Structure formats: structure tokens, C-alpha cells
């Protein structure tokens, strides 16, 4: 099979905001306890953070990490996680049926984020709580004033404000599963008023309003929420998890097309409201939860009552296989290809809970299959995304969609490094693909690296002892021809002038 990408250096979609390579740590399962924090671990640092995990997170080069939830935040008291640790209350977490000792809260997490080389994207509780706690939290984290919460932070040992720039106005408030779930009207009013006081406490912060949870749900929610919050917010959120419960790999690999349509849909709502309001400001998108999630769901349902009301329950511990990595690769390319409007995104999540990094208590930390497309995206996918014209064969998935392109790609020009990076997935399960590139605007272009993620077995996994799915170098052909193996993810790096 043959495919062709046509592009031009001058025709760009947008500059990539590095925050699209963000991730997410929720106070859930073993993400925090036994994940990032394990004081007895042999690699633990002076604050009890696992050094082996920090090393892997630094490798992933994650510029921003959302915290502390997720569903968890909608029942959370942020004040429980500050100050003297011996006095912190143990609380029932009603979102996930666990108990949280609060040994890690924002005091510790902001320090962990620094050590990881990331900034914090903080979410406030607009489920069981409201605007008062939200503005107090902004004051505690960010204020230099001689005022109660800023002084409380100082008394807790932090003279300097944490300087948290990005704040989420709740989490998935459209969902009946959410503690304090609201109608669009209820949420819209609350979010607007919370936003107002939060920005009065610190007018440099950026705010994310909750969009609806998933493409299937968008519509009235976006319209009503943006209608009310438009002057106060900067972003609207999107969340997506794909699964292969049907074991239909051609369909699973095609799912990233939905993500593309979802983004276009939310952009349309943002711009409709912009036009309605004759606003100068453009609302951009924060895709602050995205991933594959399904492997652990059956087990979690069976274990629903086991270890209930304990800390660090084994929950959402998906073990990812090779085809999941292909889907994650396609999803990341979709985000890159919308660099004009998607300015932040969080791979959900980062450690142990539907995560690229897994740990065992007291033992190893290792990279799951999905680690690799994210790692190469985050480390090399910087610069401007080019607009492309793709010529490729297509396939139909009965009962789902027609004309799914075999080739998924993104083309990124990094002017500073003098590099052009092409990411590509060949969705065909049977045929290799010859790839032709016709990219104008460069005096010269030389391929110097071709990395491939491939395994014969689509269900191959990595575990703590064996890394079966890992990228390999592909030998570069003297004639410049490029072949993308059947069901493979690829990164091609060119030196350009
Ligand atoms: O990431 C896991 C959960 O998925 C989050 O808590 C919630 O926001 C979403 O439904």
C-alpha cells in the first residue's frame, strides 16, 4: 500500500503549546500513595517521593500535572492537605470508596511537581463545596498579601507563593456520577461566580470551565456554560477514554477520528458564543483527560467491596498492550493537529492509575507500552504543526464508520532545532505502507532517525521484569524510501534547512 503526505513549511496549523504534553495525578488508587509517594521505598527522597518514579516522570518531560482530581476533587477539602501532617484528618473519599490520610496535599504536591519539572494545574471542588473555598485556595497558593490564607501558607513553612497559574472549575460537573452533579444552569452560575472571585484573588490565573464529559454529551451544556462564563474563563475542558471491549481492533484504531470531531464540535460552540457576544477573546480547549481505559474495569467492579475504606486500593490499574500504544499515539497526533485551539491536555493519568508508569510497593517502577508514543511526542514534538494533505487508502468498520484512513500522521516543524518530525501510524493489520513525503519550503531535508514501535502480537504487554514493547531503530534506506510496517507507530526525524 502507498500513502503520501503533502505539506508546505509556510502553511501551519499553529504553534504547539507544550502544555498539551501534560498529565494527571488524582488522589485515587495508588497514584499518590505507593505511586509518587512512598517514604519507605529504597529510592525515596527527603520528602518521601519515590526517586525511581520521579526519574521516569522527568523522562516523559511533562510540563503540567492536573491535581487532585478527577472525581475525587468533588468531595475534597483542600484544607485537609496542608500544615502539620500529624494533625491532618483521615477522610472518606466518596468518589472512589477509599480513605485518604491526607499525608499528601497541595503543600507536598507542589514540591513534587517542582522536582518533576512540572507546573501544577489545580482543580477546585465545585461539587460539595463552592466559591468561598475556591477563592481561599487561590489565596493560600498564590497570594503575597498580609492576609489570613496567605499567612497560613507562610506559617506552614512556605514564604513564597506556589504560583499556580491554571485552575479547573470543578470536574465533570455534567455527570450524574459526580458528587454535587449540577444542571448546566446550576453549574454555569456557580462557575461564573467562582471564577470571578478566584480572579479577584489573583488576576494572573487562567481558568478552565468544565465542558461535558465526552463527545456523546456535548451540546446544550457547552452553550449554557460558555454563555454564562465567557468573560471569566480561558478554556473549556474535554475528556475522552477509548476502549476495545469488543475486541475489534480495526474499530479501536479508528477511534481517534472521534476525538478530532469532538474537538471541532467544542471549537464550534466556543466560536458561536464568541460571535453571539461580539467578544474579542477566544476560548481555547483543555483536553484535560484522555487515554485508553477499560482493562481494569471488570476487576474493579468485582473488587468493589474489597478493601473498601482503605488507602492505596488497587484501582484503575490498566495493564496496557501494544495496540493501546497505537491508539494513544493516534490520540496524541490528533492533539498536535489541533494546536491552534488545544492549548493544554492531560494524559490521564501518570502513575499506577490508567498510567504510562507502574510501580510495585517497595519494588520496581517501569514503563507501560503507552509510555513510548507519549515520551517521543513530548520530547520531539515541539514547534509548529504543518497543515497536511493525506492521500491514503481507507477501510470501513461495519456498524461504526466508513472510510477510515489507514495513515494517521502529524508533521511538526521545529525551526529552532532545524528539524522536521513526522509521527505516523499505519492502521493496517495486514499490509506495510510505503510513505512518500512531498514537503515544500525547505532547501534540503535529510532523514536521520526512524524509530518504530512494533510487535507481532497486538496484545503484548510490558511488566516489571520484561519489556516486550519498546521502540527500535529502523535502518535508513540510502534511496530515502520509507516503509511503515503494518500496525506500527513511527517517528521520523529530518534535518532541514
Ligand atoms: O481518570 C479517572 C476518572 O475519569 C476521573 O476521576 C474522572 O474525572 C473521569 O471520569
Q: What is the mean pLDDT of the chain?
A: 97
Active site residues: 172, 289
Which atom, in ligand 1's list, is nearest to the CA of 96?
6
Answer whether 324 contacts ligand 1 (Cβ < 6 A).
Answer: no
Identify the residue whose C-alpha is closest to ligand 1 atom 7: 70
**DSSP code, position 288:** E
Centre of ligand 1 to C-alpha 212, Å, is 13
Nearest Cα residue to 237 out of 272, 262, 257, 220? 262
**DSSP code, position 465:** S
**φ, ψ dihedrals at 186, nearest 5°:** -60, -45
pLDDT digits (tens, 9 = 90+) for 364-407: 999 999 999 999 999 999 999 999 999 999 999 999 999 999 99
Centre of ligand 1 to C-alpha 230, Å, is 25
pLDDT digits (tens, 9 = 90+) for 72-104: 999 999 999 999 999 999 999 999 999 999 999
Please list, residue by residue across 296-305, b when 16 or more beta carbons sit within 10 angstroms of its beta carbon and e when fewer do: beeebeeeee
pTM: 0.97
Which residues contact residue 356 at a Cβ distance below 8 angstroms, ignoring those fewer than 6 apart?
60, 320, 347, 350, 367, 368, 370, 371, 374, 375
For a mutational test of ligand 1's pocket, the pick from 123, 241, 313, i.e. the residue with the most ligand atoms closer than 8 A to its C-beta, is: 241
Nearest Cα residue to 47 out of 89, 117, 103? 103
pLDDT at 129: 98
Q: Give the confidence band of 218 by pLDDT, cuts at 50, 70, 90.
A: confident
Answer whether 71 contacts ligand 1 (Cβ < 6 A).
Answer: yes
Rounded Cα distance between 419 and 380, Å, is 9
Answer whether 292 contacts ligand 1 (Cβ < 6 A).
Answer: no
Centre of ligand 1 to C-alpha 70, Å, is 5
Identify the residue whose C-alpha is closest to ligand 1 atom 4: 70
Centre of ligand 1 to C-alpha 84, Å, is 29
3-state helix, strand, coil in the chain (%, to 5): 30, 30, 40
For a mutational test of ligand 1's pocket, the pick from 171, 174, 216, i.e. the residue with the most ligand atoms closer than 8 A to its C-beta, is: 171
Q: With contact defined as beta carbons under 8 Å apart, do 439 and 386 qualify? A: yes
User: How many other β-carbons are positioned within 10 Å of the β-carbon of residue 474?
Assistant: 19
pLDDT digits (tens, 9 = 90+) for 11-44: 999 999 999 999 999 999 999 999 999 999 999 9
User: How many other β-carbons are positioned within 10 Å of the β-carbon of residue 294?
Assistant: 15
Please list, residue by residue across 177-186, b when 16 or more beta carbons sit within 10 angstroms of its beta carbon and e when fewer do: ebbbebebee
Q: With contact defined as beta carbons under 8 Å apart, do 387 and 7 qualify? A: yes
CATH of 18-380, one of 1.10.10.10, 3.20.20.80, 1.10.540.10, 3.40.50.620: 3.20.20.80
Identify the residue whose C-alpha is closest to ligand 1 atom 9: 70
- Which CA distances in Å does 281 have to 125, 199, 274, 377? 26, 16, 7, 29
Which residues contact residue 260 at a Cβ distance below 8 angstroms, ignoring those fewer than 6 apart?
334, 337, 338
Answer whether 69 contacts ligand 1 (Cβ < 6 A).
Answer: yes
Nearest Cα residue to 342 out of 200, 478, 464, 240? 240
Answer whether 178 contacts ligand 1 (Cβ < 6 A).
Answer: no
Over 90: is that where the pLDDT of 306 sits? no
Centre of ligand 1 to C-alpha 294, Å, is 12
- Which three cell numbers, joined as nine digits, stand for 376? 517521543
Over 90: is that where the pLDDT of 283 sits? yes
Over 90: is that where the pLDDT of 252 sits? yes
Rounded Cα distance between 68 and 60, Å, is 20
List residues bridging with 93 in a β-sheet.
98
> What residue spans define the domains of the chain?
2-9+384-496, 18-380
Answer whether 70 contacts ligand 1 (Cβ < 6 A).
Answer: yes
Centre of ligand 1 to C-alpha 404, Å, is 28
Rounded Cα distance between 51 and 140, Å, is 28
Nearest Cα residue to 422 out of 448, 392, 404, 444? 448
Domain 2-9+384-496, second-level architecture: Sandwich (2.60)
Ordered DSSP codes for 59-71? HHT-SEEEES-SG
Identify the residue whose C-alpha is closest to ligand 1 atom 2: 70
For a mutational test of ligand 1's pocket, the pick from 313, 348, 351, 355, i.e. the residue with the most ligand atoms closer than 8 A to its C-beta, is: 348
pLDDT at 304: 86
For a mutational test of ligand 1's pocket, the pick from 70, 100, 212, 295, i.e. the residue with the most ligand atoms closer than 8 A to its C-beta, is: 70
Which residues contact residue 146 at a Cβ distance below 8 angstroms, ignoring those fewer than 6 apart?
none
Which atom, in ligand 1's list, is nearest to the CA of 172?
8
pLDDT digits (tens, 9 = 90+) for 319-365: 999 999 999 999 999 999 999 999 999 999 999 999 999 999 999 99
Centre of ligand 1 to C-alpha 71, Å, is 6
CA atoms within a 13 Å half-sphere pointing along the CA-CB vector of 79? 10
Q: With contact defined as beta carbons under 8 Å apart, do 128 and 351 qualify? A: no
Q: Which contiguous run of DSSP H or E holds residue 347?
A: strand 342-348
Q: Give the confidence band of 216 by pLDDT, cuts at 50, 70, 90.
A: confident
Answer whether 256 contacts ligand 1 (Cβ < 6 A).
Answer: no
What's the sign of the alpha-carbon dihedral 317, 318, 322, 325? negative
User: How many other β-carbons are positioned within 10 Å of the β-carbon of residue 458?
Assistant: 18
Which atom, in ligand 1's list, is nearest to the CA of 171?
8
- Which three cell numbers, joined as nine digits, stand for 217? 454529551
Amino acid at each position: 500500500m502507498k500513502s503520501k503526505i503533502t505539506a508546505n513549511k509556510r502553511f501551519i496549523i499553529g504553534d504547539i503549546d507544550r502544555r498539551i504534553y501534560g498529565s494527571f495525578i488524582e488522589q485515587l488508587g495508588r497514584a499518590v500513595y505507593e505511586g509518587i509517594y512512598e517514604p519507605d521505598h529504597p529510592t525515596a527522597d527527603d520528602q518521601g517521593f519515590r526517586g525511581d518514579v520521579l526519574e521516569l516522570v522527568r523522562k516523559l518531560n511533562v510540563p503540567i500535572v492536573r491535581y487532585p482530581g478527577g472525581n475525587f476533587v468533588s468531595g475534597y477539602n483542600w484544607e485537609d492537605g496542608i500544615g502539620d501532617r500529624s494533625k491532618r484528618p483521615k477522610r472518606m473519599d466518596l468518589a472512589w470508596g477509599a480513605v485518604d490520610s491526607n499525608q499528601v496535599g497541595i503543600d507536598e504536591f507542589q514540591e513534587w511537581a517542582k522536582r518533576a519539572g512540572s507546573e501544577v494545574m489545580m482543580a477546585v471542588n465545585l461539587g460539595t463545596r463552592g466559591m468561598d473555598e475556591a477563592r481561599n485556595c487561590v489565596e493560600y497558593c498564590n497570594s503575597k498579601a498580609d492576609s489570613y490564607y496567605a499567612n497560613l501558607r507562610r506559617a506552614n513553612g512556605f514564604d513564597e507563593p506556589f504560583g499556580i497559574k491554571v485552575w479547573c472549575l470543578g470536574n465533570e460537573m455534567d455527570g450524574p456520577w459526580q458528587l454535587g452533579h449540577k444542571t448546566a444552569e446550576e453549574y454555569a452560575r456557580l462557575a461564573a461566580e467562582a471564577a470571578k472571585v478566584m480572579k479577584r484573588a489573583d488576576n494572573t490565573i487562567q481558568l478552565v470551565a468544565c465542558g461535558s464529559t465526552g463527545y456523546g454529551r456535548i451540546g446544550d451544556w457547552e452553550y449554557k456554560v460558555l454563555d454564562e462564563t465567557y468573560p471569566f474563563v480561558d478554556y473549556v475542558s474535554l475528556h475522552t477514554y477509548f476502549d476495545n471491549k469488543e475486541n475489534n481492533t480495526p474499530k479501536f484504531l479508528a477511534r481517534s477520528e472521534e476525538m478530532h470531531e469532538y474537538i471541532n464540535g467544542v471549537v464550534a460552540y466556543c466560536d458561536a458564543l464568541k460571535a453571539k457576544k461580539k467578544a474579542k477573546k477566544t476560548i481555547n480547549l483543555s483536553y484535560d483527560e484522555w487515554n485508553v481505559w477499560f482493562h481494569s474495569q471488570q476487576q474493579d467492579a468485582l473488587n468493589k467491596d474489597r478493601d473498601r475504606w482503605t488507602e492505596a486500593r488497587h484501582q484503575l490499574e490498566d495493564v496496557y498492550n501494544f495496540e493501546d500504544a497505537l491508539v494513544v499515539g493516534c490520540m496524541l497526533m490528533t492533539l498536535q493537529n489541533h494546536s491552534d485551539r488545544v492549548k493544554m491536555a492531560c494524559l490521564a493519568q501518570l502513575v499506577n492509575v490508567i498510567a504510562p508508569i507502574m510501580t510495585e510497593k517497595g519494588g520496581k517502577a517501569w514503563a507501560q507500552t503507552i509510555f513510548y508514543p507519549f515520551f517521543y511526542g513530548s520530547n520531539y514534538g515541539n514547534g509548529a504543526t504543518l497543515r497536511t494533505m493525506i492521500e491514503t487508502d481507507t477501510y470501513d468498520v461495519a456498524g461504526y464508520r466508513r472510510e477510515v484512513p489507514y495513515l494517521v500522521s502529524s508533521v511538526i516543524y521545529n525551526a529552532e532545532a532545524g528539524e522536521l518530525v513526522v509521527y505516523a501510524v499505519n492502521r493496517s493489520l495486514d499490509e506495510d505502507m510505503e510513505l512518500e513525503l512531498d514537503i515544500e519550503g525547505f532547501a534540503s531535508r535529510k532523514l536521520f532517525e526512524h524509530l518504530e514501535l512494533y510487535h507481532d502480537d497486538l496484545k503484548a504487554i510490558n511488566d516489571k521484569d520484561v519489556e516486550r514493547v519498546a521502540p527500535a531503530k529502523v535502518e535508513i534506506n540510502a534511496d530515502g524510501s520509507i516503509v511503515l510496517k503494518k500496525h506500527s507507530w513511527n517517528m521520523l526525524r529530518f534535518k532541514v534547512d
